[in-house]
A and B are shown apart, each in its own frame.
Chain A
Amino acid sequence: MKILVPVKRVVDYNVKVRVKSDGTGVETAGVKMSMNPFDEIAVEEAVRLKEKGVATEIVAVSMGVAASAETIRTALAMGADRGILVETDVDLQPLAVAKLLKAIVAKEAPNLIIMGKQAIDDDMSATGQMLAALLGWPQGTFASKVAIEGDGVTVVREVDGGLETVALTLPAIVTTDLRLNEPRYASLPNIMKARKKPIETLKPADLGVDPAPRLTVLTVAEPPKRQAGVKVGSVAELVAKLKTEAKVI
């Protein structure tokens, strides 16, 4: 079975992003970039399926600026076999990403696509569901367990009330939640090996897709700041303040 794993280059989750003073976006110059954490979980899951002999090939795909090749290298160092970079400076939104991925699926014919449930920069949580729709495939979103059984996949999903299990026919799309696995760190030898693995570079036009954004960002602003609070000296003082000052209990 061939698995496709889309991986996005995002501002590292440890960075406290700052809004640019001109309100056009957030500061990304000189900021540490990493693979979207949910995509690391996706790569890890694919690699485990390969280690179990279920998967035969893992293709990592990233879309965006040229530096997204680094994100593919990370996936290759974790165990993916080869990469595809769709290079563009356009601000790619989930609909465009889903269309580009659909075109790649037409060439690659994977049986399973594992991707993140959410990119931690745009917080859209949309691309997997959209790609599933465009392909006419079933979707198992927010997965905390994935099991391939015959020509289907069983997915345990994290939902609002707890867990839900669905059975999907293959080919299918799975999006990862935090509890699916703990991604490995790439070892030095594997980082070296990854340098020799191939990455193919394409442009959106090669795939026949117009990547233009449908949402125009008018402004990006800082959220309202909370007033600095106070420290209380005791539990009794806390309860008194909540009663008489905040009036919430």
Chain B
Amino acid sequence: MTALVLLDHEAGSIKQPSRSAVAAAQKLGEVHVLVAGAGVQAAADAAARLPGVAKVILADAPAYDHALAEPLAALLVALAPGYSHLLAAATAIGKNVMPRAAALLDAQPISDIAGIVDADTFIRPIYAGNALATVKSADSKKVITVRAASFDPVAAEGGNAPIEAAPAVETPSMSRFVSAELSKSERPELTAARVVISGGRGMQSGDNFKLLEPIADKLGAAVGASRAAVDAGFVPNDYQVGQTGKIVAPELYVAVGISGAIQHLAGMKDSKVIVAINKDEEAPIFQVADYGLVADLFTALPELAAELERS
């Protein structure tokens, strides 16, 4: 059995969620990886250095720039005959592309797996993580997205796989990239950070998110948010943690001014240690918090910044 993993890459490196997808694929058999894009030799070189990868397939063509779903799904379908499993991390790209490829292969995708029982059987969360379903696929080819937070990523270095060019595939021209407006941040990415500090509606404004910054600086943390904070325009959409946002499982998650709705918990309750700061002692977030501080965030956050500075 050989598995093919579609990798997310950026500026010549492989994104951490994809390294988790490679780790998941290694439980299934030999692993090949696919790097697609325009001018992406450096990313293919980085993919070749991932430990445990037997082959890198490089699809370097203008059509694959910006990872549009239509050409990428066509490429995956062209490569599919060599593989028993096609995987990608459950990132915006993986979620966009893999179901499209699955339909073309007449397969039911297995989305967001959190565990692998055997080559046909997988564990995936349903109902915002309130239940875990073990499902067995009857399809001859499995098309899978991987919940990165559930699999320890393979290292970025250590391998030395050969790189092979992908065959030319006819690309549909019904979609076109227009522009991107990406949030700039010096901080680690939410899905890769060791510490995440998130703010909710209790933060009251985008300006007040600055109160999280000295703490995030000190802890090397990524900054996240609840849906309410995103909807209110305090922070951009890509900060959202939850059932329908990003799934994170850092060593430490700090929830500030977040009530703890199930949709939010779905995105962070597998964190190793959870801290909640909330002025309402009845807030449901305290039911999952290892350490709860009942306090007004506007006094607690400056205190916390000072305390971390001191120590």
Contact = CB atoms under 8 A, between A and B. Distances in A.
Contact of B175 (A138, A142, A242, A246): A138
Given A232-B292, A235-B304, A154 B178 contact: yes
Contact of A178 (B109, B178, B227, B300): B227
Contacts of B289: 229
A236 B300 CA distance: 10
Contacts, number: 266
Contacts of A230: 290-292
10 contacts: A120-B127, A126-B111, A130-B102, A136-B172, A142-B96, A144-B237, A164-B66, A214-B138, A216-B138, A219-B133
Interface in A166-192: 166-169, 172, 177-179
A235 B99 CA distance: 46
Nearest to A231: B292
B219 interface: yes
Q: Is the interface of A mostly helix, strand, loop or mixed?
A: mixed
Interface string B231-249: 1000011100001101000
Contact of B125 (A123, A162, A232): A123
Interface of A: 11, 13, 16-19, 26, 38, 93-95, 98, 117-118, 120-134, 136-142, 144, 154, 157-169, 172, 177-179, 213-223, 226-232, 234-236, 238-239, 241-243, 246, 248-249
A130 B103 contact: yes
For B99, B137, B138, B292, which residue has the most chain A Cβ atoms within 10 angstroms?
B99
A214 B175 contact: no
A160 B311 contact: no
B293 A238 contact: yes
B182 A223 contact: no
Nearest to B74: A133
B108 A163 contact: no
A222 B132 contact: yes
Given A130-B103, A133-B104, A162-B237, A125 B111 contact: yes
B108 A214 contact: yes
Contacts of A132: 69, 100
For B93, B135, B219, which residue has the most chain A Cβ atoms within 10 angstroms?
B135
Given A123-B127, A235-B300, A13 B133 contact: no
B238 A159 contact: yes
Nearest to A130: B103
Interface in B81-99: 91-93, 95-99
B283 to A, nearest CB: 12
Given A123-B126, A246-B273, A158 B238 contact: yes
A230 B131 CA distance: 25
B2 to A, nearest CB: 21
B241 to A, nearest CB: 12
Nearest to A249: B219
Given A130-B103, A235-B293, A141 B133 contact: no
A231 B275 CA distance: 10
